[in-house]
Amino acid sequence: MFFLLLSTCFVDTDILFSFYILPSWFIQFTKALAFRYSHYFVSYFATSIVFIGGAPYSLEIVRWTSVEWPGSLAQVASVWNIPMHSFLHKYCYRKLLSSGFATLSAILITFAVSSLLHGLDLRMCTVLLSFGLFSFAETGLRERLAISLSACIRTRPCPKDGGCLHRYKSNLNPLVILPCVIFLLINGYQLVYLANQSK
């Protein structure tokens, strides 16, 4: 209920701020926030229905904190709808990679399949394919930066068991903090942009 109230009552700029002239970026941000919060409500509602139906409560559909603080777009893609991501990753992306497809081709085909599952809406197809391209570009850029700066700033965290060969591992190091904060801001902006394109 928390996310339902937030998405319909508290972040709706038409209701809450109708007497003020607001900057366009603020309006876009609140509309994207309302879109995400309504998704969280639907996801937690579905989890509750499945739990009431007798399934174990270990089912997790969304991790909203990872979406609201997007360390990387690949992370957002994997936690936005966890069961769908697991299905597409296992039966589409991995199969394409093992068949000899290049990584970018496998990503684009996987996001195309996802857009087909969302119902052939041109806007949704564009948003999902853009999301796939943005996350691929971010992953490549972060890999190159991690190598050149020798810092743990890759899209996926470095292994904790000592397999990391980077010189700067600490989250307190400026060479780790600064790129991560910059990517956090860029990813937040891209989520606002993509959410406003999907409406």
Number of domains into which the chain is organized: 2
Q: Cα separations (Å) of 178 from 136, 143, 145, 152?
A: 21, 15, 12, 12
Find the domain containing 150 and state its range: 71-199
Distance, CA of 78 to CA of 73 (rounded, Å): 9
| Same domain assignment for residues 22 and 105 | no
Question: How much is the pTM?
Answer: 0.80
| Same domain assignment for residues 79 and 51 | no
The answer to the question of residue 116 being in a domain is: yes
The answer to the question of residue 37 being in a domain is: yes
| Same domain assignment for residues 82 and 55 | no
Q: pLDDT (tens digit, 9 = 90+) per residue, 97-142? A: 999 999 999 999 999 999 888 887 888 888 888 889 999 999 999 9
Respond yes or no: is residue 39 known to be catalytic.
no
What's the whole-number mean pLDDT along residues 146-174?
A: 82
The answer to the question of residue 66 being in a domain is: no
Which one from 85, 89, 118, 166 is the annotated catalytic residue?
Answer: 118
| Same domain assignment for residues 89 and 31 | no
Tell the burial category of 25 from Cβ atoms under 10 Å away from its Cβ (0-12, 13-18, 19+): exposed
The answer to the question of residue 6 being in a domain is: yes
